[in-house]
Chains A and B, each alone.
Chain A
Amino acid sequence: MKKRLLALLSILLVFSVVLAGCSEEEAVETKSRLDVIKERGKLIGGVNADIPGFGYVASDGSYTGMDIDITRAVAAAVFGDPNAVEFRPLSAEERFIAVQTGEVDVLARNTTQTLSRDASVGLAFAPVTFYDGQGLMVRKDSGIETLEDLEGARISVESGTTTELNLADQMRKLGIDYEPVVFDSQDAAVSAYEQGSADAYTTDRSALVSRKTTLSNPDEHFILDEVLSKEPLAPSVKDGDSQWIDIVSWTVNALVQAEEFEITQANVDTFLDSEVPEIRRFLGVEGDMGEQLGLPADFVYQIIKAVGNYGELYDRHLGPDTVFDLERGQNSLWTDGGLLYSPPFR
């Protein structure tokens, strides 16, 4: 026993010394991410598995959603094949480490772009794919109508999200005393709310809309009008490889630009004969747009052929024909008064 104690004590000491003595060392030479992916033969995408509309596992085990299709678009850009991708469901906590360690090539998992994530978590963000805001869902019969009514309430939230921080901020601002109930997955957080263990459930408004449809009695719940924060959701990659960041960014831009050009999955082939120089460059009929990124010349064509343009993606997963029926709102093209704006392909 005594020896064991001695052993434990010395481990403790050595461990602390090693950690304390750790200092920066020289950087390691690495291969470019694009080469790694090409060698592997498929893209690995970190996604959500429990937000219908964005990232969800259907009962047959396949993934569907906006974020899923954006990941597929990146695969189409690299390989010309939207199925050359493996999805890795990640919890909010795991996601950044998965990107940092290079376990996933691209993270499209309802991730809010923030300064600290960009600067100190080691992520690099592509353009925003969905402009969202944080909301709160409550029961209709609870009598809660504004944030002020939440005094003393239990609010369920997923841990490791900006949601958790915004909630704390807002409540501090309003001076409201509340009890956060923190879960490691959206499923658990919703389940606690639905069973009445929590008074409210908070996350991005789009996710609220989508989760509401999965409740047993959606009509008994409603989403507060107040928006707690700005939540621009964007795909991200590991910082430090500018070529790879560019590829993901311009994939997103291509989706938006295609909608602006009104090029769809169905009619993209007809545009190949277009005489408009911008469109010819865009689809890779002429120019070296793809080459500059290290991609095939027709990468934009492949993307649109595989998943369609941004508008199609939106309609397929969140639009009027789906259970969510979400307004385009801020997520319309700039030409329609929205925020989506692609820099020129030139």
Chain B
Amino acid sequence: MNKHSSAKKTPFWRDKRVIPILLQVIFAILVVLAGVFFFTNALGSMKQIGLVFGYDFLSKMAQFDIGDKLIEFTSTDTYGKAFIVGILNTIKVAFIGIILATILGFIVGISRLSNNWLAKTVATFYVEIFRNTPLLVQIFIWFYAVFLSLPVIENSINAFGLFFFSNRGTAIPWFDLTSSSLIWLILFLIGIVLSFVVWRVRLKQQVESGKRKFPLYWATATIIISLGITWLITSEYPLLLSVPEIAPRGFIGGYTIGPGFGALLVALVMYTASFIAEIVRGGIMAVSKGQVEAAKALGLKNSTILRLVILPQAIRIIIPPLTSQYLNLIKNSSLAAAVAYQELVGVGITVLSQTGKSIEVISIIILVYLSMSLLTSLLMNIFNKYTQLVER
């Protein structure tokens, strides 16, 4: 009865329970309508010019070559494989870039807090300049004004007979595998595990007995011994150093970094490092003074304080923004299209213009980037959990 009368009093468009649902339904309808409108248009205009939506082109022959490649690729391979080459190139530049940017970023960030006036000023200038200039401008400067303006290969700039800089690429010494590389790797890994065990044992003894047991020296000694044993077994070097030499059309031996890849990598690293430096600085500064004072009161050494008190706490603050910088670096690597490095977007654009499959190609690019963002966030989340667990 009561229920009935109240329903009579408030019409449904003023009913607090109905309004939200109604609103949402309207909103959903609008969104769906817009989506349908866009897709109908797209498919309509595709049909009009005789294009059919579909991904079967991926299994067709690509007919073009790719310069930078991590896996074999020839013009007889498929478009699908071309995409894989592109994705691998993206991963390559992102992976190396993230490592180098992190190292440089930490160095600069800590330098900004140095009491050495010169180091601090240089670091500050570095951050201000590289952070406030567009990345694409930096890539162009590195590519056109630096890497392409290097001397031609015959007159390469030679550093110590090991590094060669030319506008055809920069050659660095690299390692060639030998027949015993695998044995070395296995025994080296065993050595590391052993030394870790030894370190833990000695550390435990030190804590229990209260006497210095030099765990680090012991661990180092273990590794050296294991390497010595390997040497006795194989009597061969693990790797052979391959030093580049100048040949008319490129370098022989060593590892050659192409100008496009070089410019992209340097620009990405320098740019991202300037952001990481600020994050690191902020993280260190956010560790409360009391922590340091308490550590000092315990009589810890300065290096120990940095290693065991400041960094573990700073890391916790640093990781979330660091993750987003890593993601930015991955996304920014797409600017490679401007400097002839064939990563995902570069390959995608080539495929797109050879096949005319614009929606399909762009959707593949978006899917891959979303997956990479997801994966990176996931990894950093795990790492974040790990550091958070240490907390209390």
A and B touch in the complex (CB under 8 A): yes
Contacts of A168 in B (CB 8 A): 63-65, 75
A335 at the interface (CB under 8 A from B): no
Q: Which residues of B contact A24 (CB under 8 A)?
A: 43, 47, 52-53
B109 interface hit (Cβ, 8 Å): no
Residue tally, chain A, CB below 8 Å to B: 66
Residue of B nearest to A151 (CB): B249
A119: interface (CB < 8 Å):
yes
Cβ contact of B65, chosen from A4, A180, A196, A197, cutoff 8 A: A180
For the residues of B in contact with A, the DSSP-based class is helix
Take A19-B363, A96-B353 as given contacts and tell me if A238 and B371 are in contact as well, using a CB distance cutoff of 8 Å: no
Kindly specify which of A184-192, A253-261, A337-345 makes contact with the partner chain: A184-192
A246 within 8 Å of B (CB atoms)? no
CB distance from B232 to the nearest CB of A (A): 42
Report if B121 contacts A (CB, 8 A): no
CA distance A286 to B228 in the complex (A): 101
User: Do the beta carbons of A28 and B49 come within 8 Å of each other?
Assistant: no
Residues of chain A from 55 to 101 with CB closer than 8 A to chain B in the complex:
92-93, 95-97, 100-101
Q: Are A25 and B40 in contact (CB under 8 A)?
A: yes
Chain A residues with Cβ below 8 Å from B64 are 164-165, 168, 180
How far apart sit A15 and B373, CA to CA, in the bound complex (Å)? Answer: 15
- B53 to A: closest C-beta gap in Å: 6
Question: Using an 8 Å CB-CB cutoff, how does the interface string of B291-323 with A read, 1 for contact, 0 for none?
Answer: 000000000000000000000000000001000
Q: In the assembly, what is the distance between CA of A15 and CA of B342, in Å?
A: 26
Task: Let me know if A27 is at the binding interface, CB within 8 A.
Answer: yes
Q: Could you tell me the dominant secondary structure of chain A's interface residues?
A: mixed
A8, B49: Cβ atoms closer than 8 Å: no
Which chain B positions have C-beta within 8 A of A12?
367, 370-371, 374
Per-residue CB contact flags for chain A residues 179-211 toward chain B (1 = under 8 Å, else 0) read: 111111000100110011111000000000000
Residues of A within 8 A of B41 (CB): 28
Q: Does A316 contact B (CB under 8 A)?
A: no
In the complex, the answer to whether B48 meets A93 with C-beta atoms within 8 Å is no
CA distance A119 to B66 in the complex (A): 26
Q: Please tell me if the beta carbons of B346 and A159 are within 8 angstroms of each other in the complex.
A: yes
Note all chain A residues with C-beta closer than 8 A to B258: 181
CB-CB under 8 A from B35, the residues of chain A are 18
Say yes or no for A219: interface residue by CB 8 A criterion: no
Interface: B152 (CB within 8 A): yes
B356 CB contacts on chain A under 8 angstroms: 96-97, 100, 120-122
Q: What mask results when residues 122 to 164 of chain B are scored 1 for a CB within 8 Å of chain A, else 0?
A: 0000000000000000000000100111001100000000000
The list of the 9 closest CB pairs from A to B, nearest first, reads: A122-B49, A160-B353, A28-B44, A168-B75, A196-B152, A121-B356, A197-B167, A93-B353, A152-B249
Can you name 16 A-B residue pairings with CB atoms under 8 Å? A1-B384, A2-B381, A5-B378, A5-B381, A12-B370, A15-B366, A26-B44, A122-B50, A152-B250, A159-B346, A160-B352, A180-B66, A184-B338, A195-B152, A197-B147, A198-B168
